[in-house]
Amino acid sequence: MGPGGRYRRTDGAHARDERTTTETIPMTTVHDTESRTDRRTDHAVLFDMDGVILEGRGTDASVHRRALEDVLTDRELEVDGDLREPLETYEYDDGFRAACERLGVDAAEFFHAREKRSAKRSVSRLAAGTRRLCPDVDALEAIAEHAVVGLVSNNYDPTVEFVVDHFRLTEFGYVRGRDLGPNGFRRRKPDPHYLNEALDALDASEGLYVGDRATDVIAAERAGIDSAFVRRDHNASLDLGVEPTVEIGSLHDLIPLVSDR
């Protein structure tokens, strides 16, 4: 298993899997390797975070703009208008790399530095109460009685860890956001990398991934597991374009699905 994903205890203490490295270190959680619990299961229910557990589609674009300012200030750099836009975008794309070349900085290292600042700023916004849990998150308790429950998100790993700790989401036995930097960016869904990592860590032979976007459904299919597409206000009129295993209107709809297994 690659660096990152954590096993967690239901009392809120956390432990990094003994097979991981220290490449990714959550900024809000201390992991106790002596308290790690390997919970073996043949079925896992994994959840996306943004729009499924946490209200909102993701990190506000202003976070990345301010994170860029942080990095530029740290390095005493100035950029003009035509360079600023590609550098403050979420994407690690040709435009970002070209702008870094013009600025005379290493693109991969600069992107990682900006994402580190973005993660820090997103945590600060969450701590200030800018986003809330979805109202049906209380269904997690009943779901966790029938299957191991995990959180696998395209959002930054430190941000995902903070959400679980801040909102005391103790039902999650495994938590994983994407790594900071270009490699983490490339492994975003619909790439199944982090879903496969979770299934491997949990020794799960079967799984269900709950998401709110087409990329979630595609990632689940590529990982060889079922998908549940949750229809919310923000995606009520979305033409998904792919076929999920099941479509639901609330996380409560999952309870009979997992309890009948």
Per-residue pLDDT of the chain (261 residues; tens, 9 = 90+): 334 565 443 333 333 232 222 233 333 232 232 332 343 457 999 999 999 999 988 888 999 999 999 999 999 999 987 899 999 989 999 999 999 999 999 999 999 999 999 999 999 999 999 999 999 999 999 999 999 999 999 999 999 999 999 999 999 999 999 999 999 999 999 999 999 999 999 999 899 999 999 999 999 999 999 999 999 999 999 999 999 999 999 999 999 999 887
Q: Report whether 170 contacts 11 (CB < 8 A).
A: yes
Q: What's CA 9's distance to the chain center, in Å?
A: 19
Closest CA to 5 of 157, 123, 156, 155: 157
Spatial separation of the C-alpha atoms in residues 8 and 37, rounded to whole Å: 7
Spatial separation of the C-alpha atoms in residues 1 and 21, rounded to whole Å: 9
CA trace torsion 162, 23, 69, 88 (10° rounding): -90
Confidence at residue 81, expressed as pLDDT on a 0 to 100 scale = 79
Contacts of 95 (CB under 8 A, 6+ apart): 86, 89
Closest CA to 152 of 213, 186, 193, 206: 193
Confidence at residue 6, expressed as pLDDT on a 0 to 100 scale = 57
Confidence at residue 173, expressed as pLDDT on a 0 to 100 scale = 94
Full-model pTM: 0.85
Confidence at residue 260, expressed as pLDDT on a 0 to 100 scale = 80
Residues listed for the chain: 261
Q: Would you call 255 helix, strand, or coil by DSSP? A: helix
CATH class of 6-56+132-259: alpha beta
